[in-house]
Every structure is written in C-alpha cells, then in structure tokens.
C-alpha cells in the first residue's frame, strides 16, 4: 500500500458535490473508497468515516422533513445539516493534509 494524501483529501472534498448535484457527495466518495481501499494507506478508514457521515446526514435530513410542520424545527435542522455538510469535509481534508486524525461528529457507525 502506498500513502497518497492527495487522494484522501480529494475524497473528503468530493462530499461537497452535494451542493452541486444533490447526491454526488455520497456516490463519488463511495466509488473512490471501494476502488482504492486496498491500494492507498488509510483509505479504508477514511472511506468508512465519510460514508457513515453522509448516511447519517441523510437520515437526519429525512427526520427533519416532518419536523417542518412542528414549529419549523425541521428548517432549523436542515440548516444545521447543510452547515455540517459544508464545514466538516473541509476541516477533515485539512486535517488529512496535515497528518492529523479525522473526526465526523454525530455519525452512526453503519459501515465498520
């Protein structure tokens, strides 16, 4: 296995495709992770963290939709989810580039 921080950084940043396509932030990192997890050092760990984060954010968004009817709490939740989907991939891409450990908060462990 080789170490390739650039691919890891791009994998984290590919989550930002959610803001362009609406769904690419889950599919593109999934494809990169599946195709490179045996070739690149730490890709398996990072890929699992990204997929778990994206699935968790999707579930939170689905839960927020009916909450819109209750005092508009769902709108606030969707804003927070959007902010997290923007900020944490960037933070973790910078951490990977600096050789630090990544952290995606509020993520369920679907893929272990």
Q: How confident is the model at residue 37, as a pLDDT? A: 92
Q: d(Cα 69, Cα 95) in Å, to the nearest integer?
A: 38
Q: Domain ranges in the chain?
A: 5-97
Q: Are 52 and 107 in contact (CB under 8 A)?
A: yes
Q: How confident is the model at residue 48, as a pLDDT? A: 96
Per DSSP, 109 falls in state -
pLDDT, tens digit only, all 112 positions of the chain: 778 899 999 999 999 998 998 788 899 999 999 999 999 999 999 999 999 999 999 999 999 999 888 778 899 999 999 999 999 999 999 999 999 999 999 999 988 8
Q: How confident is the model at residue 71, as a pLDDT? A: 76
Q: How confident is the model at residue 64, as a pLDDT? A: 94
């Amino acid at each position: 296995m080789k170490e390739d921080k650039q691919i890891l950084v791009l994998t984290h940043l590919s989550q930002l495709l959610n803001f362009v396509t609406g769904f690419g932030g889950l599919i593109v990192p999934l494809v990169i992770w599946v195709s490179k997890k045996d070739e690149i050092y730490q890709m398996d760990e990072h890929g699992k963290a990204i997929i778990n984060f994206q699935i968790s954010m999707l579930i939170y968004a689905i839960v927020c939709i009916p909450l819109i009817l209750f005092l508009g709490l769902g709108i606030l939740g969707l804003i927070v989810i959007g902010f997290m989907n923007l900020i944490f991939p960037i933070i973790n891409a910078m951490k990977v580039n600096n050789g630090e450990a990544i952290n995606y908060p509020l993520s369920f462990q679907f893929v272990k």
